[in-house]
Chain A
Amino acid sequence: MVHPRMTVQTQLVLRALLQDPTHERYGLELSTASGLPSGTIHPILARLEKLGWLESRWEDIDPIREGRPRRRYYRLSPDGAEYARTALKDARIQLSSFLDWSPKPSSANGGLA
Chain B
Amino acid sequence: VKRPLNLSDIPALTDGDRAGLSRALGSRQMQRFLLTVIALPSCTLQAIDCVRVLDNAAYHQRELDDLLVDRLFRNLESIFEALVGESVDEFHIGNLVRCAEEIRQMAEHMAVDHQPRAATVTAAGRAAPWTGAVRLTLVSVRVLPVTDQARYAEEWQADLYELAFTGASWWAQLVYALRILNDAWVLRAELKAPAPERVRP
Residues of chain B from 74 to 103 with CB closer than 8 A to chain A in the complex: none
Q: Within 8 Å of chain B (Cβ to Cβ): is A1?
A: yes
Residues of chain A from 28 to 70 with CB closer than 8 A to chain B in the complex: 28, 37-40, 42-43, 46-47, 50-53, 59, 62-70
B195 touches A50 (CB 8 A): yes
Cα–Cα, bound, A38→B123 (Å): 28
Contacts of B158 in A (CB 8 A): 26, 59, 68-72
B159 touches A26 (CB 8 A): yes
Supposing A62-B2, A66-B126, A69-B157 touch, asked if A39 and B151 sit within 8 A by C-beta, the answer is no
Expressed in whole angstroms, the minimum distance between the Cβ of A89 and any Cβ of chain B is 16
Expressed in whole angstroms, the minimum distance between the Cβ of B141 and any Cβ of chain A is 11
Contacts of A52 in B (CB 8 A): 198-199
A66 touches B124 (CB 8 A): yes
B122 touches A67 (CB 8 A): yes
Contacts of A68 in B (CB 8 A): 124, 126, 158, 161-162, 165
Contacts of A64 in B (CB 8 A): 2-3, 124
A28 touches B190 (CB 8 A): no
Contacts of A65 in B (CB 8 A): 124
Q: Residues 107-122 of chain B: 1 if any A CB is under 8 Å from the residue's CB, otherwise 0?
A: 0000000000000001
Q: Within 8 Å of chain A (Cβ to Cβ): is B196?
A: yes
Residues of chain B from 144 to 197 with CB closer than 8 A to chain A in the complex: 151-152, 154-159, 161-163, 165, 176, 179-184, 186-187, 189-191, 193, 195-197
Expressed in whole angstroms, the minimum distance between the Cβ of B197 and any Cβ of chain A is 6
Q: Within 8 Å of chain B (Cβ to Cβ): is A112?
A: no
Q: How many residues of chain A have a CB within 8 Å of chain B?
A: 32
Q: Within 8 Å of chain B (Cβ to Cβ): is A8?
A: no
Q: Residues 69-90 of chain A: 1 if any B CB is under 8 Å from the residue's CB, otherwise 0?
A: 1111000000110010000000
B163 touches A28 (CB 8 A): yes
Supposing A27-B155, A42-B187, A63-B5 touch, asked if A50 and B201 sit within 8 A by C-beta, the answer is no
A51 touches B186 (CB 8 A): no
Expressed in whole angstroms, the minimum distance between the Cβ of A28 and any Cβ of chain B is 4
Supposing A65-B124, A71-B158 touch, asked if A38 and B176 sit within 8 A by C-beta, the answer is yes
B183 touches A2 (CB 8 A): no
Q: Within 8 Å of chain A (Cβ to Cβ): is B125?
A: yes
**Chain A interface (Cβ < 8 Å from any Cβ of B):** 1-2, 26-28, 37-40, 42-43, 46-47, 50-53, 59, 62-72, 79-80, 83
**Chain B interface (Cβ < 8 Å from any Cβ of A):** 2-3, 5, 122-126, 151-152, 154-159, 161-163, 165, 176, 179-184, 186-187, 189-191, 193, 195-201
**3 nearest A-B residue pairs (beta carbon):** A67-B124, A39-B183, A67-B126
Other 4 A-B pairs with CB < 8 A, given A27-B156, A63-B2, A71-B159: A43-B187, A69-B5, A69-B157, A69-B158
